[in-house]
Protein backbone atom coordinates (compact mmCIF):
# COMPACT_ATOMS: atom_id res chain seq x y z
CA UNK A 1 0.00 0.00 0.00
CA UNK A 2 1.23 3.50 -0.86
CA UNK A 3 2.33 5.52 2.15
CA UNK A 4 -0.09 8.26 3.15
CA UNK A 5 0.72 11.51 1.37
CA UNK A 6 1.35 14.46 3.68
CA UNK A 7 2.30 18.09 3.27
CA UNK A 8 5.82 17.00 4.23
CA UNK A 9 6.02 14.48 1.39
CA UNK A 10 4.67 17.05 -1.09
CA UNK A 11 7.32 19.51 0.08
CA UNK A 12 9.98 16.84 -0.37
CA UNK A 13 8.81 16.32 -3.95
CA UNK A 14 9.25 20.05 -4.62
CA UNK A 15 12.73 20.00 -3.12
CA UNK A 16 13.66 16.96 -5.21
CA UNK A 17 12.24 18.41 -8.42
CA UNK A 18 9.51 15.75 -8.63
CA UNK A 19 6.02 16.62 -9.83
CA UNK A 20 2.88 15.75 -7.87
CA UNK A 21 -0.62 15.22 -9.21
CA UNK A 22 -4.08 16.18 -8.01
CA UNK A 23 -7.65 15.57 -9.16
CA UNK A 24 -10.99 16.71 -7.88
CA UNK A 25 -13.37 14.10 -6.49
CA UNK A 26 -16.66 14.39 -4.68
CA UNK A 27 -17.63 10.85 -3.64
CA UNK A 28 -16.21 7.62 -2.24
CA UNK A 29 -16.15 5.61 -5.47
CA UNK A 30 -14.08 8.03 -7.54
CA UNK A 31 -11.88 8.88 -4.57
CA UNK A 32 -11.04 5.20 -4.17
CA UNK A 33 -10.25 4.77 -7.88
CA UNK A 34 -7.99 7.83 -7.93
CA UNK A 35 -6.33 6.78 -4.69
CA UNK A 36 -5.63 3.27 -5.97
CA UNK A 37 -3.99 4.64 -9.13
CA UNK A 38 -1.58 6.72 -7.05
CA UNK A 39 -2.90 10.27 -7.26
CA UNK A 40 -1.10 12.39 -4.67
CA UNK A 41 -3.82 14.89 -3.78
CA UNK A 42 -7.61 14.75 -3.98
CA UNK A 43 -9.33 18.14 -4.00
CA UNK A 44 -12.94 18.39 -2.93
CA UNK A 45 -13.60 21.49 -4.97
CA UNK A 46 -16.47 23.92 -4.68
CA UNK A 47 -16.61 23.20 -8.42
CA UNK A 48 -19.21 20.68 -7.25
CA UNK A 49 -21.65 23.58 -7.47
CA UNK A 50 -21.26 23.45 -11.23
CA UNK A 51 -20.46 19.81 -12.06
CA UNK A 52 -22.78 18.19 -9.49
CA UNK A 53 -25.43 20.77 -8.66
CA UNK A 54 -25.80 22.32 -12.12
CA UNK A 55 -25.19 25.93 -11.12
CA UNK A 56 -23.49 28.52 -13.32
CA UNK A 57 -20.84 29.28 -10.70
CA UNK A 58 -19.56 28.12 -7.30
CA UNK A 59 -21.28 30.77 -5.20
CA UNK A 60 -24.27 28.72 -4.03
CA UNK A 61 -22.16 25.98 -2.44
CA UNK A 62 -22.46 25.86 1.36
CA UNK A 63 -20.07 24.68 4.06
CA UNK A 64 -22.45 21.80 4.77
CA UNK A 65 -22.23 20.75 1.10
CA UNK A 66 -18.44 20.78 1.35
CA UNK A 67 -18.36 18.86 4.64
CA UNK A 68 -20.67 16.18 3.24
CA UNK A 69 -18.59 15.60 0.12
CA UNK A 70 -15.33 15.77 2.09
CA UNK A 71 -16.63 13.02 4.34
CA UNK A 72 -17.53 10.92 1.28
CA UNK A 73 -14.08 11.38 -0.28
CA UNK A 74 -12.25 10.68 2.98
CA UNK A 75 -14.06 7.35 3.22
CA UNK A 76 -12.56 6.23 -0.09
CA UNK A 77 -9.04 7.65 0.05
CA UNK A 78 -6.48 5.85 2.18
CA UNK A 79 -3.27 7.32 0.70
CA UNK A 80 -4.05 10.61 -1.07
CA UNK A 81 -3.72 13.96 0.68
CA UNK A 82 -7.20 15.44 1.14
CA UNK A 83 -7.65 19.13 0.35
CA UNK A 84 -11.06 20.79 0.71
CA UNK A 85 -12.32 24.15 -0.53
CA UNK A 86 -13.76 26.72 1.83
CA UNK A 87 -16.85 27.95 -0.07
CA UNK A 88 -17.95 31.50 -0.83
CA UNK A 89 -18.25 33.77 2.24
CA UNK A 90 -17.39 30.96 4.68
CA UNK A 91 -14.17 32.76 5.72
CA UNK A 92 -15.11 36.44 5.58
CA UNK A 93 -13.62 36.89 9.07
CA UNK A 94 -10.93 34.90 10.89
CA UNK A 95 -13.49 33.77 13.47
CA UNK A 96 -15.88 32.53 10.80
CA UNK A 97 -13.00 30.80 9.02
CA UNK A 98 -12.08 28.87 12.17
CA UNK A 99 -15.61 27.61 12.75
CA UNK A 100 -16.09 26.52 9.14
CA UNK A 101 -12.59 25.07 8.69
CA UNK A 102 -13.24 22.91 11.75
CA UNK A 103 -16.22 21.34 9.96
CA UNK A 104 -14.05 20.38 6.98
CA UNK A 105 -11.17 19.08 9.10
CA UNK A 106 -13.56 17.02 11.21
CA UNK A 107 -15.05 15.64 7.98
CA UNK A 108 -11.62 14.34 6.94
CA UNK A 109 -9.76 17.18 5.23
CA UNK A 110 -6.03 17.52 5.88
CA UNK A 111 -5.90 21.07 4.54
CA UNK A 112 -8.39 23.77 3.53
CA UNK A 113 -8.12 26.04 0.49
CA UNK A 114 -9.01 29.74 0.55
CA UNK A 115 -9.31 32.10 -2.41
CA UNK A 116 -7.85 35.57 -2.04
CA UNK A 117 -4.70 37.64 -1.68
CA UNK A 118 -3.29 40.06 0.90
CA UNK A 119 -6.52 40.38 2.87
CA UNK A 120 -6.19 36.68 3.81
CA UNK A 121 -3.02 37.12 5.86
CA UNK A 122 -4.72 37.49 9.24
CA UNK A 123 -7.11 34.63 8.49
CA UNK A 124 -4.28 32.31 7.46
CA UNK A 125 -2.28 33.23 10.56
CA UNK A 126 -5.31 32.53 12.75
CA UNK A 127 -6.04 29.18 11.12
CA UNK A 128 -2.47 27.89 11.20
CA UNK A 129 -2.08 28.95 14.83
CA UNK A 130 -5.08 26.75 15.53
CA UNK A 131 -3.68 23.72 13.68
CA UNK A 132 -5.57 24.14 10.40
CA UNK A 133 -3.21 23.79 7.38
CA UNK A 134 -4.00 26.26 4.58
CA UNK A 135 -3.62 26.32 0.80
CA UNK A 136 -3.83 29.83 -0.67
CA UNK A 137 -5.55 30.07 -4.08
CA UNK A 138 -4.28 32.90 -6.33
CA UNK A 139 -4.91 33.94 -9.92
CA UNK A 140 -8.36 33.25 -11.29
CA UNK A 141 -10.39 32.77 -8.11
CA UNK A 142 -13.85 31.58 -9.22
CA UNK A 143 -15.59 32.95 -6.12
CA UNK A 144 -14.63 36.43 -7.41
CA UNK A 145 -16.01 35.82 -10.90
CA UNK A 146 -18.39 38.81 -10.72
CA UNK A 147 -15.58 41.12 -9.60
CA UNK A 148 -13.41 39.96 -12.51
CA UNK A 149 -16.31 40.28 -14.94
CA UNK A 150 -16.01 36.65 -16.02
CA UNK A 151 -13.48 33.83 -16.11
CA UNK A 152 -10.38 35.65 -17.33
CA UNK A 153 -6.63 35.02 -17.28
CA UNK A 154 -5.04 36.88 -14.36
CA UNK A 155 -1.59 38.47 -14.01
CA UNK A 156 -0.86 39.36 -17.63
CA UNK A 157 -0.04 42.98 -16.83
CA UNK A 158 3.31 43.60 -15.16
CA UNK A 159 1.88 45.35 -12.09
CA UNK A 160 -0.63 42.58 -11.51
CA UNK A 161 2.05 39.93 -11.97
CA UNK A 162 4.41 41.59 -9.49
CA UNK A 163 1.57 41.93 -6.99
CA UNK A 164 0.71 38.24 -7.30
CA UNK A 165 4.32 37.25 -6.66
CA UNK A 166 4.36 39.44 -3.55
CA UNK A 167 1.00 38.04 -2.42
CA UNK A 168 2.36 34.50 -2.69
CA UNK A 169 5.40 35.42 -0.61
CA UNK A 170 3.27 37.21 2.00
CA UNK A 171 0.75 34.37 2.29
CA UNK A 172 3.55 31.85 2.76
CA UNK A 173 4.93 34.06 5.55
CA UNK A 174 1.44 34.14 7.08
CA UNK A 175 1.51 30.35 7.27
CA UNK A 176 0.15 28.98 3.98
CA UNK A 177 1.75 25.58 3.35
CA UNK A 178 0.63 25.27 -0.27
CA UNK A 179 -0.32 27.63 -3.07
CA UNK A 180 -2.67 26.93 -5.96
CA UNK A 181 -2.39 29.04 -9.11
CA UNK A 182 -5.26 29.08 -11.59
CA UNK A 183 -5.23 30.54 -15.11
CA UNK A 184 -2.08 32.65 -15.00
CA UNK A 185 0.67 33.02 -17.62
CA UNK A 186 3.26 30.25 -17.50
CA UNK A 187 6.12 32.70 -16.88
CA UNK A 188 4.35 34.17 -13.84
CA UNK A 189 3.58 30.73 -12.42
CA UNK A 190 7.25 29.81 -12.81
CA UNK A 191 8.32 32.98 -10.99
CA UNK A 192 5.94 32.31 -8.11
CA UNK A 193 6.98 28.67 -7.83
CA UNK A 194 10.60 29.77 -7.54
CA UNK A 195 9.80 32.62 -5.12
CA UNK A 196 8.20 30.46 -2.43
CA UNK A 197 9.43 27.40 -0.58
CA UNK A 198 6.03 25.69 -0.29
CA UNK A 199 4.57 23.37 -2.97
CA UNK A 200 2.77 25.18 -5.79
CA UNK A 201 -0.02 23.41 -7.67
CA UNK A 202 -1.19 24.74 -11.01
CA UNK A 203 -4.28 24.55 -13.17
CA UNK A 204 -3.88 26.48 -16.38
CA UNK A 205 -0.59 27.78 -14.97
CA UNK A 206 2.01 26.22 -17.24
CA UNK A 207 4.40 23.33 -16.76
CA UNK A 208 6.78 24.77 -14.16
CA UNK A 209 4.62 24.51 -11.04
CA UNK A 210 5.43 21.72 -8.59
CA UNK A 211 2.17 19.90 -9.27
CA UNK A 212 -0.85 19.84 -11.57
CA UNK A 213 -4.55 19.61 -10.69
CA UNK A 214 -7.47 19.01 -13.03
CA UNK A 215 -11.21 18.60 -12.60
CA UNK A 216 -12.18 14.93 -12.86
CA UNK A 217 -15.15 15.71 -15.12
CA UNK A 218 -12.78 17.34 -17.61
CA UNK A 219 -10.23 14.51 -17.78
CA UNK A 220 -13.08 12.03 -18.23
CA UNK A 221 -14.86 14.13 -20.86
CA UNK A 222 -18.15 14.34 -18.97
CA UNK A 223 -18.24 18.09 -18.32
CA UNK A 224 -21.19 19.85 -19.88
CA UNK A 225 -20.27 22.57 -22.32
CA UNK A 226 -16.60 22.48 -23.21
CA UNK A 227 -13.23 21.25 -22.00
CA UNK A 228 -11.08 24.22 -20.89
CA UNK A 229 -7.92 25.00 -22.85
CA UNK A 230 -5.77 23.96 -19.88
CA UNK A 231 -7.35 20.51 -19.53
CA UNK A 232 -7.27 17.27 -21.48
CA UNK A 233 -9.72 14.42 -22.03
CA UNK A 234 -7.69 11.37 -21.01
CA UNK A 235 -10.62 8.97 -21.25
CA UNK A 236 -10.81 9.43 -25.02
CA UNK A 237 -7.21 8.29 -25.37
CA UNK A 238 -7.38 5.36 -22.96
CA UNK A 239 -10.99 4.14 -22.95
CA UNK A 240 -10.74 3.29 -19.25
CA UNK A 241 -11.08 5.48 -16.14
CA UNK A 242 -8.19 3.86 -14.29
CA UNK A 243 -5.90 4.06 -17.32
CA UNK A 244 -6.93 7.70 -17.83
CA UNK A 245 -5.80 8.57 -14.31
CA UNK A 246 -2.58 6.61 -14.69
CA UNK A 247 -1.78 8.37 -17.97
CA UNK A 248 -2.41 11.77 -16.36
CA UNK A 249 0.00 10.88 -13.55
CA UNK A 250 2.62 9.61 -16.01
CA UNK A 251 2.42 12.64 -18.30
CA UNK A 252 2.72 15.09 -15.41
CA UNK A 253 5.65 13.15 -13.93
CA UNK A 254 7.45 13.07 -17.28
CA UNK A 255 6.70 16.70 -18.15
CA UNK A 256 4.47 15.83 -21.09
CA UNK A 257 1.47 17.58 -19.53
CA UNK A 258 0.67 20.38 -19.73
CA UNK A 259 1.84 20.70 -23.32
CA UNK A 260 2.09 23.94 -25.32
CA UNK A 261 -1.57 23.86 -26.31
CA UNK A 262 -2.65 23.81 -22.64
CA UNK A 263 -0.58 26.82 -21.57
CA UNK A 264 -1.38 30.54 -21.33
CA UNK A 265 1.46 32.89 -22.28
Which residues are annotated as part of the binding site?
A: 46-47, 85, 113, 115
Binding residues for Mg(2+): 46, 85, 115
How many Å apart are CA 190 and CA 51, to the nearest integer? 29
How many Å apart are CA 203 and CA 208, to the nearest integer? 11
- Assess contact for 77 and 31: CB atoms under 8 A: yes
Query: Among residues 18, 122, 172, 182, which one is catalytic?
Result: 182
Active site residue 182: yes
Alpha helices (runs of H) in the chain, residue ranges in sequence order: 7-16, 28-37, 48-51, 63-76, 94-107, 121-129, 145-148, 158-174, 186-195, 216-219, 234-238, 241-254
Residue 146, classed as helix, strand or coil, is helix
Binding residues for 3-methyl-2-oxobutanoate: 46-47, 85, 113
Side-chain-side CA neighbours of 236 within 13 Å: the count stands at 9
- Assess contact for 46 and 63: CB atoms under 8 A: no
- Assess contact for 46 and 87: CB atoms under 8 A: yes
| Active centre residues (catalytic) | 182
Amino acid sequence: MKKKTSITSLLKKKQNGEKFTALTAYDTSFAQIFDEQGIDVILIGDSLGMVLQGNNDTLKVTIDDMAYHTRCVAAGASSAFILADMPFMSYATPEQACLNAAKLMQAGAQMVKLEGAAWLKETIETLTQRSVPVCAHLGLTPQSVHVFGGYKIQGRENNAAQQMIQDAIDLEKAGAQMILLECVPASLAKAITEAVSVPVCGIGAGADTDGQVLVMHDILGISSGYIPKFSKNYLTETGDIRKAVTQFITEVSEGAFPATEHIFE
